[in-house]
Amino acid sequence: TENLLLFMIEPIQFLVYCTITYAMMIYSSVFLQAYLIYSSSVAAGAQSGIEECKYQFAWDRWNCPERALQLGLVKTWETAFVHAISSAGVMYTLTRNCSLGDFDNCGCDDTRNGQRGGTGWQWGGCSDNVGFGEAISKQFVDALETGQDARAAMNLHNNEAGRKAVKGTMQKTCKCHGVSGSCTTQTCWLQLPEFREVGNYLKEKYHRALKVYIVDLLRGAGNSAASRGAIAETFSSFSRKELVHLEDSPDYCLENRTLGLPGTEGRECLKKGKNLNKWEKRSCKRLCGECGLAVEERKAELVSSCNCKFHWCCAVKCEQCRKTVTKYFCVKKGGQRGKNESAGSRKKNLRLRKKH
Ligand SMILES: *[C@@H]1O[C@H](CO)[C@@H](O)[C@H](O)[C@H]1NC(C)=O
Ligand SMILES: *[C@@H]1O[C@H](CO)[C@@H](O)[C@H](O)[C@H]1NC(C)=O
Ligand SMILES: *[C@@H]1O[C@H](CO)[C@@H](O)[C@H](O)[C@H]1NC(C)=O
């Protein structure tokens, strides 16, 4: 059931997976057609979901590592986020494609045009057709959950929360009408925000994800109708806007090969900088200090072109400017290094890099 996660790493793998899955449904030529039309958008959408995941978690202990996604052994807060952001990404991309006229059978959502929206405005213009994106995303992404256990229910719930996030972050845009722009009436439409907004919104939801307790008695009950019913009922008591998880997260400080987790040793963190937010400023503490690691300062020289001058005619001559940048990394305390990589060899690497 975790094959959903495959396509974030390799769109090609995803397509192969889909082909196999849907080969069973080929009886329905309607579905096959849909598959051929939308598969590239679905893959692109899933990829944008995983890129957003990496951005949102860049300075967290868990930073959306691909191997962990692939193994998919966990049912944690992070699994919840991954499902939500990828199903949101798929819906988002399909909706955008639709607005750009990439599909013959789909265009703006003008169903409400001409209706009164509120005081002083009515619906008009070209609203992004999220209904379309939602339906196709559901068809593709939810189809990957073939199980009927609590994990499948969790994944489906979070897929839905991701789609709700796209809807919930849409923005009303208006245009004024009236004598010489007096704006006595306006027409408004709904448009997709930047995908970053959806990511920010889901990251908030991630921090407040709710834990679902499935009564133990049911765990061993297999696929009986009674147990399926109880699972469905348990999940339906949670708002479909919220992310849910079944397990708590493991200690992301530590490497765990079974779970495909790299641990925080060797990670870069941020310390000083003009534009750092609170979360980034605390990253060395979070990734190194609180994980029992030390922070190592490494300096590297950046060489770039600068003070360029234009010479008549026609050449541009530049100087080479050198700038020392300081970077911070989490390392084992006391200079011992777990992977038996000495400080010396690392410094040498840095020195080599700056020469070339
Ligand atoms: C939809 O958009 C994505 C990303 O912009 C693009 O890669 C994909 O090819 C588009 N799909 C179609 C059918 O044009
Ligand atoms: C890795 O995680 C599994 C599952 O949570 C756990 O049983 C195992 O003890 C962990 N291994 C290490 C080395 O921490
Ligand atoms: C670390 O490397 C040195 C040689 O560079 C070797 O002698 C030593 O046995 C290695 N230690 C471990 C734990 O692998």
pLDDT one-digit tens code per residue, 172-181: 999 988 777 7
Q: What is the mean pLDDT of residues 9-33?
A: 58
Model confidence at 48, in pLDDT bands (50, 70, 90)? very high
**Ligand 1 test: best mutation among 36, 37, 40, 195, most atoms within 8 Å of CB?**
40
Which pLDDT does position 333 carry in this prediction? 87
Q: Does ligand 1 come within 6 angstroms of the Cβ of 97?
A: yes
Q: Cα of 337 to ligand 2 centre, how many Å?
A: 21
Residue 250 alpha carbon, nearest atom of ligand 2 = 5
Which pLDDT does position 18 carry in this prediction? 63
Q: Report how far residue 127's alpha carbon sits from residue 76's, in angstroms, rounded to the nearest whole number.
A: 36
Give the residue ranges of DSSP H helices in the chain: 6-9, 11-23, 29-56, 66-71, 77-99, 130-141, 150-168, 195-207, 216-219, 225-236, 278-281, 283-287, 343-355
Contact between 288 and 265 (Cβ < 8 Å): no
Q: Give the residue whose CA is nearest to atom 3 of ligand 1.
A: 41
Q: What is the per-residue pLDDT across 247-298, written as a single tens digit (0 to 9) for each?
A: 899 999 999 888 888 999 999 999 887 788 989 999 999 999 999 999 999 9
Give the residue ranges of DSSP H helices in 57-149: 66-71, 77-99, 130-141
- Average pLDDT, rounded, for the chain: 83
The total number of residues written for the chain in this structure: 356
Half-sphere exposure of 242 (CA within 13 A, CB side): 13
Block residue for tokens 């399926």: 228
Q: What is the per-residue pLDDT across 73-118, written as a single tens digit (0 to 9) for each?
A: 678 899 999 999 999 999 999 999 999 999 988 888 999 999 988 8
CA dihedral 66, 37, 195, 248 (to 10 degrees): -40
Model confidence at 119, in pLDDT bands (50, 70, 90)? confident
**Which letter, b or e, does each residue of 304-318 get, where b requires 16 or more Cβ atoms within 10 Å of its Cβ?**
eeeeeeeeeeeeeee
C-alpha dist (Å) from residue 51 to 44, 85, 141, 150, 282:
11, 10, 17, 27, 23
Model confidence at 222, in pLDDT bands (50, 70, 90)? low
Query: Cβ atoms within 10 A of the Cβ of 202, count?
Result: 27
Q: What is the mean pLDDT of residues 40-64?
A: 93
pTM of the complete model: 0.78
Residue 254 alpha carbon, nearest atom of ligand 2 = 14
Q: Per the structure block, which two tokens stand in for 191?
A: 């448009």
- Residue 315 has φ and ψ, to the nearest 5°, of -140, 150
Q: Give the residue whose CA is nearest to atom 13 of ligand 1.
A: 102
Beta strands per DSSP E along 134-213:
171-177, 185-191, 210-211
Q: Cα of 339 to ligand 3 centre, how many Å?
A: 9
Q: Which ligand is nearest to the CA of 254?
A: 2
Which pLDDT does position 204 carry in this prediction? 96
Q: Give the residue whose CA is nearest to atom 6 of ligand 1.
A: 41
Q: Cα of 171 to ligand 1 centre, how many Å?
A: 22
Q: Does ligand 1 come within 6 angstroms of the Cβ of 122?
A: no
Domains of the chain: 37-263 (no CATH), 264-332 (3.30.2460.20)
Beta strands per DSSP E along 257-351:
268-269, 294-311, 315-331
Whether residue 211 has pLDDT greater than 70: yes
Whether residue 345 has pLDDT greater than 50: no
Q: What is the mean pLDDT of residues 206-218?
A: 81
**Ligand 1 test: best mutation among 92, 97, 106, 128, most atoms within 8 Å of CB?**
97
Residues lining ligand 2, Cβ inside 6 A? 250, 254, 256, 258-259
Q: Does ligand 1 come within 6 angstroms of the Cβ of 44?
A: yes
Q: Cα of 103 to ligand 1 centre, how many Å?
A: 10
Whether residue 352 has pLDDT greater than 50: no
Q: Report how far residue 342's alpha carbon sits from residue 349's, in angstroms, rounded to the nearest whole number.
A: 11
Block residue for tokens 């045009």: 113
Q: Report how far residue 136's alpha carbon sits from residue 43's, in angstroms, rounded to the nearest whole number.
A: 13
Least confident of 48-62, 152-166, 181-195, 334-348: 334-348
Q: Give the SS3 label for residue 116.
A: strand
Q: Give the residue whose CA is nearest to atom 13 of ligand 2.
A: 256
**Ligand 2 test: best mutation among 248, 258, 261, most atoms within 8 Å of CB?**
258
